[in-house]
Structure 1
Amino acid sequence: MEHEEILHRCFRCGFCKLPSDYGSFTCPAYLKYRFESFSPGGRMWLTRAWLSGQVQTDARLQEIFFSCATCGSCVEHCIFDKFRESILEAFIAAKAEMVDQGTVPPPVRDYLTRLLDHNNPYKISQKKRGDWAAELGVKPYTADTEVLFYVGDVGSFDHRGMEIARSVAGLLQKLGVSFGILGPAEGSDGNDARALGEFALFEHLAKRNIEAFQQAGVEKIVTLSPHGYNAFKNIYPQWSGHFSVRHYTHLLAEILPADKRLYKAASRSVRRVTFHDPCYLGRHNKEFDTARSILDRLPDIERVEMPRNRADSLCCGGGGGNFFTDLVCSGPDTSAAARVEEAADTGAQVLVTACPICTVMLEDAVKARNLEQRLEVRELSELVAEALG
């Protein structure tokens, strides 16, 4: 197994599941299950025992391996600089071993099968991939278009995700950006398939997208989701997928006016907001300031920080395919539930994020925690659209 050589170097000090102040926990799987076997250190030891034959594959071991949300907090907080960067890749490699053996939890199997059969996890026809934009007059990407707006699976097919896709597309139209979409020619970015260890499927999806991008003459890509941004920026170049890739917040930060007088006040009173860092923008790509700089331009907003923020941010639990497999997303002790409680405790009225998966996860957690009267979840583009009138 790749990265097998680092497994023996972990002695389970436990720092990997803690934030910098050691005051709470940041590992979604550990928060839900509260067994050391679900922590990064426990998973390292179990992987080593499994590879040596001391532990056999069973449903519980599969659950432990695939509950990892690939949030990257363990990499951020491991105290061993010489191998910390390989920890998450070792966990993904262990999943890949299980995938190759055909021993994966049924929800993971079903998710990967849907991706292979339908090019999306919703089992919806590719012909409908551009339907979210039908009422906006968004044009197909052509050689004369400057930017490809890549929407992804959640933005194309999830009800809430489609609302966010329309919000971002409306902003790009209002701001005069020359952009288009591929519609039915767009495919799943594959980021979460790779996080689940299905390397062959990821390569298949990546090469299909790269071919579609190149045939359309795409040079610049703006993504709706941080997951797609991560895949295109960091992994697609392995197959000559070299494009200028930005998340939509990067583009907004460039072209939105800095003068607050140019915006429309969204309410009569100042709203207190707090920002949730999506893992694939934050820890994976070190993008902590762009979204905050946009929030700071909007009128009548007071921004406050949660105790766990930036590199210490608590994952919503939806990464690593868990948004679709639900191995750490349900029950009373989820990271999303802890996150919305943390946001409410700051006194914030609005919890803002810049990821469709995070938005859905956090909105569901607000409802589960009965916090609707105290806290509203908004996607960043929606606040910007309000401020622009």
Structure 2
Amino acid sequence: MPTFRYRAYGLDGGLAEGAIDAASVNAASEMLWSQGLTPFQMRASAEGGTKWWNREITIGGGSQRADLVAFTREFAMLSAADIALDDALRILQTQASSSRLRALVEGLLSEVLNGAPLSDAMQKQVKVFPADYIAVVRAAEAGGTLSEVLTELAELLEHRAEIRSRVQSALIYPTMLVTLSLGALAIIIGGLIPSIAPVFGQSGKPMPGTIKFMLGLRDHWAQVVGGMAVVAIGSWASVAVAMRRNDARVELDRLKLKLPVIGAFLLQQEAARFARTLGTMLKAGVPLIQATKSASSVISNCYVASALSRAIEAVHQGSALHRALRNEAVLPAIALQMISVGEEAGKLDRMLMRVATMLERQTQSSIDRFMAALAPALTVAIAVMVGALIMPVMNAVLSINDLAGR
């Protein structure tokens, strides 16, 4: 998702500057408005965020996500015990499990002691607290339901972490299979083939083409790796240039949803994330339009995000949510039907949480089925590939033995 640099006025008239990730300029502006900021300058960041040498070494922002989950769960328990806000932050600072979390709480405590609301203190740490999180906390502060809302947020974040963990766990076995197969290929090409190649020269028998190819690959591996690197870098650069255009990103993400099996999985995942975030925000008392704007900001697929933006605009003009979503036809049909029932019954927040639970279960079932089929398919493919390399070698060795026997 692209990064935009912005300058905006806060509620107190102060100037705020920073960076925000969003699907488009309009989506970035809406996210800033939902945070209580009035943007007056917005431009795409050419750097794509923080310099790599200033970033913490993590895999997909895992440390920040873990800090956010830990902070929210512990803070929710302290708030539910009717502990004052500053005292709760002091307790969290004392028992922080990592230096990152301690620094995070120290920053929040300093702002709160200076008189800032908790949501404003969080807004100054946008790398940890996403826009939808801040919007929910701001609404909870206004409604006096901070402890209940923090509990809802903790459950939301833990659901997201659980899904990520399941996907990562499911990928462990296929990754090991691919790694081991590459190791086997390296042993065959680097060790076995060169050891038997001289036998053909001594026997006068012509060397098989497969063995010649593997020897050439071994002798010119640097050129092969260099050529592959050039092609990879060129492809990456071409894609990066194309992805600077919003229409190219939208089209690419649209094509992703058309992929067999994977497309349905991606749509279920995005719809579940949207439904759970929107349901959580509505339970926190956030108005529908603001909640849908913030919930759409968690969507990573640009095609789905742009369709949701159009649906939100229709809601802003007076259309019902289920009708606006149905006109865009980006969410699964059963989700649209359940949202329609919930909206007509006045229980939209509860129905959205049920939709999210249902889609998350379907997502997990899809992952389980896909991984159940992938592991045997990879095993067979690797066996065929290794066998295709070993058979010419064995045939050549057997033919040499026959020749020597004669």
**TM-score normalised over the length of structure 2:** 0.25
Bigger radius of gyration among the two: 2
Higher helix share: 2
